[in-house]
Amino acid sequence: MPQSKAIKNNRLFFVAKIMTNTAGTEYNEGIWSFGRKNSQYQYALSLDYVSENINTSGIQTFGAAGNFFFIAHSGDGSIDKTDDTAVYTMTSLVETQIYNYGETEMEKRLDKVKVSFRKMLAGESVVVKYKVDGATTWTTIGTFDTDDALSHTFLMEELAGVAFKSGKEFRFQISSTGGAEITGFTTLATILQTI
């Protein structure tokens, strides 16, 4: 792991490859940060930047200048700069923690998934996926790319045209391409009563 690190805006930035499943087959490599906005906020660990240009050689080092990062990667002298136009056309990805809707043992029916964003421009899109009860693969709920929209509510798995799966625990993945800026995410589920 590179020893590069930077401190900006009360946060420590560093490079890491962190496994995201117990099998060790999925991981997130990029620039991570740990810290908080100010003393009113909780400490948080987050993956702040992942480059789609990184090959299996990974990130060798990175540096910060002002509000920009310079990332050396792929073992061939390649460098990405976070304010390059190409960076903003890459896919941005967020994966949520587990949602159990306050009830760990009961089944829930997912009713709605709403994603909000800055006014959608031509060429921008958002894709929403989910996992139910620790599934190993993501199921695509749908894609949205309507110009001038500010949000979209998914009422089913739009891609497959079927109702959401029921389960005890849910995780969500939201990706944006073309520069779409996600501003909010909410879900609604009904706890299913059993006798």
- Indicate if 143 and 172 belong to the same structural domain: yes
User: Residue 173's domain spans which residues?
Assistant: 93-191
| Per-residue pLDDT reduced to its tens digit, 134-158 | 899 999 999 999 999 999 999 999 9
* Position 150, amino acid: L
Point out the domain boundary residue: 35, 58, 85: 85
CA distances from 18 to 10, 41, 100, 144, 160 (A): 22, 24, 24, 29, 31
Look up the CATH number of the domain holding residue 127.
2.60.290
Instruction: Compute the chain's Rg from CA coordinates.
Output: 19
HSE-up of 134 (CA within 13 Å, CB side)? 3
- What is the number of domains present in the chain? 2
* 101-105 contacts, C-beta under 8 A, 24 or more apart: 101/189, 101/191, 103/191, 104/168, 105/168
79 closest CA partner among 68, 92, 66: 68
- Indicate if 69 and 133 belong to the same structural domain: no
Taking a C-beta distance cutoff of 8 angstroms, is the pair 142, 174 a contact?
no
- Indicate if 34 and 107 belong to the same structural domain: no
Mean pLDDT of 105-124: 92
| Per-residue pLDDT reduced to its tens digit, 3-39 | 677 777 778 888 777 776 666 666 667 778 888 877 7
Mean pLDDT of 85-102: 75
| Predicted pLDDT of residue 103 | 86
CA distances from 42 to 38, 96, 178 (A): 8, 17, 31
- Indicate if 115 and 81 belong to the same structural domain: no
By CB neighbour count within 10 A (0-12 exposed, 13-18 middle, 19+ buried), where does 62 fall?
buried
- Indicate if 107 and 184 belong to the same structural domain: yes
* Position 30, amino acid: G
Taking the model in full, what pTM does it have?
Answer: 0.63
- Indicate if 102 and 170 belong to the same structural domain: yes
| Predicted pLDDT of residue 15 | 77
Point out the domain boundary residue: 57, 85, 113: 85
| Predicted pLDDT of residue 133 | 94
- Indicate if 171 and 114 belong to the same structural domain: yes
Comparing 41 with 52, which gets the higher pLDDT? 41
